[in-house]
Structure 1
């Protein structure tokens, strides 16, 4: 693979972490790195956890669904601060637990908990498919989320007869600057960029919500279909793109930023450097 595999290509980094590292990799491949952070801010709202945690410590649940390792750690940390860490741990031991993603599986190992259902590919769809082997009629379900609600998961559980579904969000996402979204949309419309690297699903959500609010979703889909390559760091981010209708995308087998850039290089090499 040549060192100029992205020669002259304008590659947008939509994340906010390790942007210097990603930029360096892009530039070493001959590309031009543009940071347009769509990540926004993630705010930890510990005070919002007290009521649901105290209720969980008292009543427990039949099922607990943990969707992120960081969120699971935060919940246990908040429980310890409230002086109910042991009670919460005991309720977790009594419940059936379903986990999503390898970081959540790592949390389970650290805390000595066992999962009834484990979905290491990290997608909500994969989690729901794995849960399909179990009945939820009359069951109480407690879900740990991260930053955003999961209406499709809640609806899935309710349709399968769950008597109660409680969602707990220790973190809340604050949207990126409107000017950043407008700038990127303008660049996409003008075909002024070649690829957008999405490193989390929330970045995809913010871009498409912006387009939907402006009535430009169809235009954005056409741009990704014909002119600009959408690149996703992993399965969860790719799932978000698919949900909005993006069909052409680059996704590495290894969910790492460096691997993502190399996969973009391979994409352009396979297409003989043709304009996308």
Structure 2
């Protein structure tokens, strides 16, 4: 006989879609904006910038490239990022050649890698000729090669790191390429927040890691390699931790090492958050227990739709019980699941008492004398309530 299910009162507060989950942010630029969007949807956010953006307005390499293009305007200019293109024009203004640069670029054809680059081009008073749907540098390259570049002078605005595949292919096809390094990605000046984010990820405290640029993903992997944690991080990202990327370009360094990623159809922060909002709750584990529905989230549990925050030790026990729902889990196994490596089984009893208190209903977890504990799993799922 199926246990009766208590229906939450109609006045129960609506739980935000990301409540109970912890999201890590690796971005440097627009990290605050992303954090705000996530927190509004209930997520707990931990920030650990994986890089920093260093403008190169005073860099002689950028100045030399800009003056060379003013002297000999390019036939084609590729703008890869809106932020970078604006920074380039602002730097040229600072040198007193801003109008000359715009005139030189406007004399040729401008290609934008994506909408942000296109917006920056138009904001400067210029007009773009083409932009790929994928916002991919590879599609820009294919377009140029199909167009034919032999004998053309092409300016490529870099977006924080070299683009050897694009530049080499254009040169092999006969183009003269001028690389424009508008800004550079460097490791963060303070590695502490990034290291703490990695430690939390490996310790099971992070449910999602977000990435908004390919250099951030590459920098995170490089830092983990320096600390001897690269394989551990990859294991986490291939398992319980979701890697959320703003688009395919950002995802490439992760997918190249076998990490599955979640991406929105449109490469925008808002679209990325909405994708997570739809995806993450659907991944939560739901179980019919003692006539109620338990939904296990990252650091919290929904009991019949009511959010209950659970201490880390209690959450570790609950996950161990949920892996064998309805079956008795010995105290020794539960002790091994507790964080901190305690060897005293009394720690299990203490954590279990706190878990029951956090859940608000002691009958959800049953004590089996001299054996261990079990979730009071209902004989069969309650229709329409569990997945």
Report the TM-score, using the length of structure 2 for normalisation.
0.61
Question: Offset at 1:165?
Answer: 2.0
Structure 1 contact 208–244 (Cα < 8 Å) conserved: no
Task: Tell which has more relative contact order, 1 or 2 (C-alpha 8 A, sep 6+).
Answer: 1
Counterpart CA distance in 2 for 1:159 and 1:91 is 25
Question: Offset at 1:222?
Answer: 2.7
Question: Offset at 1:145?
Answer: 1.6
Which residue pairs with 2:48 in the alignment? 36
Counterpart CA distance in 2 for 1:185 and 1:88 is 43
Counterparts of residues 116-135 of structure 1 (less than 5 Å): 116-119=129-132, 121-135=134-148
In structure 2, relative to structure 1, the CA distance for the partners of 1:207 and 1:142 (3 Å cut) is same
Choose 50-59 or 84-93, whichever is displaced more.
84-93
Which residue pairs with 1:267 in the alignment? 279
Q: Does 1:115 align with 2:97?
A: no
Which residue pairs with 1:178 in the alignment? 191
In structure 2, relative to structure 1, the CA distance for the partners of 1:125 and 1:185 (3 Å cut) is same
Q: Does 1:194 align with 2:207?
A: yes
SS at match of 2:238: helix
In structure 2, relative to structure 1, the CA distance for the partners of 1:79 and 1:207 (3 Å cut) is same
Q: Does 1:64 align with 2:108?
A: no
Indicate the RMSD between aligned Cα atoms, in angstroms: 2.9
Counterpart CA distance in 2 for 1:268 and 1:195 is 9
Counterpart CA distance in 2 for 1:25 and 1:70 is 21
Counterparts of residues 133-148 of structure 1 (less than 5 Å): 133-148=146-161
Q: Does 1:221 align with 2:267?
A: no
SS at match of 2:178: strand
Which residue pairs with 1:232 in the alignment? 245
Counterparts of residues 4-43 of structure 1 (less than 5 Å): 4-16=16-28, 19=31, 22-23=34-35, 25-27=37-39, 29-43=41-55
Counterpart CA distance in 2 for 1:64 and 1:18 is 26
SS at match of 2:131: strand
Counterpart CA distance in 2 for 1:157 and 1:127 is 11
Counterpart CA distance in 2 for 1:129 and 1:245 is 26
In structure 2, relative to structure 1, the CA distance for the partners of 1:33 and 1:108 (3 Å cut) is closer
Choose 111-120 or 7-16, whichever is displaced more.
111-120
Question: Offset at 1:82?
Answer: 3.2
Question: Offset at 1:42?
Answer: 2.9
SS at match of 1:173: strand
Choose 211-220 or 224-233, whichever is displaced more.
211-220
Q: Does 1:99 align with 2:112?
A: yes
Aligned residue pairs, count: 273
Counterpart CA distance in 2 for 1:56 and 1:24 is 41
SS at match of 2:78: strand
Question: Offset at 1:219?
Answer: 3.8
Counterpart CA distance in 2 for 1:18 and 1:83 is 29
Q: Deviations over 1:84-119 (max 9, x none)?
A: 344333322332322211122123323443334322
Unmatched 5+ residue regions in structure 2? 1-13, 286-295, 299-387
In structure 2, relative to structure 1, the CA distance for the partners of 1:161 and 1:26 (3 Å cut) is same
Where is the helix percentage greater, Structure 1 or Structure 2?
A: 1
Question: Offset at 1:270?
Answer: 2.5
- When Rg is computed on C-alpha atoms for both structures, the one with the higher figure is 2
